Amino acid sequence: MKLGYIGLALGTLVAAGALLTLPSCGHDQKLVGITVQPSGFTFLTQAGTEQFTATGTYIHPPATKDITNQVTWTVDDNIVNINAGLVSPSPTLGCGGGTISASFGGQTAYATVTVDDPADSLCPGGGTLATLSVGVVGTGTVTSLPTGVSCPGTCVATFNVNASVLLTANGPTVTWANCPQASANQCVVTIPAGGAAVIATFQ
């Protein structure tokens, strides 16, 4: 074999080897955020189910994936049962509200859930009190005036129906969801008979 052909063959092998050893960006794929849908849900009876889903946002390369079955689901109040994102009211604990969390890979996202029954006088919709649930996404806190909400920590509180509750966000830039009267870091909620659920997303 001529030297020229040998050199060409060796060059081809070296190039192929270089291609084979190039790092794959997929191996370094990193989870940078989780979104939970729906962001809030109210059971109008003490029965039924609702499926919450978790979507992961990745970089290197950019991608979004359904990670509902990978996250760890928890709820801060035993008012509902949760299994792989499937939520159902607890048959023994009646009405109330809670904050659902989905955690995976160092990231956590939140949603709110309320169990109500207008036909039950002991439930918010059947009486004079209603629950306000607050979810916090990102690094920040939300407090209420009148006092009751200090979230994370205490994310569900009970107020009089038609009461005006001022929520104040403490942290970086905040975006409010389910709050028609929002301005900068504050949100005013008029509590309806069926309760309210607000999400504060810090960026």
pTM beyond 0.75: no
**pLDDT tens digits for range 64-113:** 999 999 999 999 877 889 999 999 988 776 788 888 999 999 999 999 88
| 84 or 44: which leads in pLDDT | 84
Is residue 17 left, alpha or beta, with left meaning phi > 0 and alpha meaning psi from -120 to 50?
Answer: alpha
Q: Could you tell me the pLDDT band of residue 124, with boundaries at 50, 70 and 90?
A: low
Amino acid letter at 182?
A
146-153 contacts at long range (C-beta below 8 A, 24 or more positions apart): 151/99
- Per-residue model confidence as pLDDT tens digits over 5-21: 444 444 444 444 444 44
- C-alpha torsion sign, points 70, 76, 82, 86: negative
